[in-house]
Amino acid sequence: MEPLTNKKKVLIQKPLTFSERIYLPALTKGLSITISHFFKKEATIRYPEVQREMSINWRGMHSLKRDENGRERCTACGLCALSCPAEAITMIAAERKPEEKDLYREEKYASVYEINMLRCIFCGLCEEACPKEAIYLDGPIVPSDYLRKDFIYGKDKLVEQPLEKK
């Protein structure tokens, strides 16, 4: 058959030369390659003790932020839940009472805020949707667990630690 392209290449298998047949030169070459790796720095990171530095646009576990006075920023508008493609976020809104003024910044707040970490795909759309700069995916890797219910993170795990009182 006429070749359709000009890429046809005839492969000629040459008989092995003497040094190739006695196998030892190739063997010493291989040994020298492996021994050079013996002295190279290993690529392993001892994970739980040593953690690799994450890239600057790394997205990890969510945290609900507080403002400069230590009040929760979230106003339970629901935009994060709406934007979430995995439907991982649910929340229940509540009205702020007068005595809770230094706990919540807005008059409406989230009394329950849950993220299902098994559903979450860490896309960061909640972070982008939030008008109050209340949620950021700046945490560590979400740890593993045994039960599905333990992956639904509530406010106890998500809200940032309160600021130090002056």
Residue 130 exposed, middle or buried by CB count within 10 Å (0-12, 13-18, 19+): buried
Mark 27-66 with x for binding to other proteins (rule: CB under 8 A) and - for no binding.
Answer: x--xx-xxx-xx-xxxxx-x--------------------
With left for phi above 0 and alpha for psi between -120 and 50, is residue 68 left, alpha or beta? alpha
Kindly state whether residue 12 participates in binding other proteins, applying the rule CB under 8 A. Answer: no
Amino acid identity, residue 117?
Answer: M
Least distance to other proteins from the beta carbon of 55, Å?
A: 23
Distance (Å, whole) CA 136 – CA 142: 14
**Least spacing, CB of residue 46 vs other proteins, in Å:** 7
Question: Is residue 11 involved in binding other proteins (CB under 8 A)?
Answer: no
Non-local (6+) Cβ contacts of 60 within 8 A are 54, 122, 137, 138, 139, 140, 141, 142
| Site for other proteins contains 14 (CB under 8 A) | no
Site size toward other proteins (CB under 8 A) is: 14
Binding residues (CB under 8 A) for other proteins: these are: 27, 30-31, 33-35, 37-38, 40-44, 46
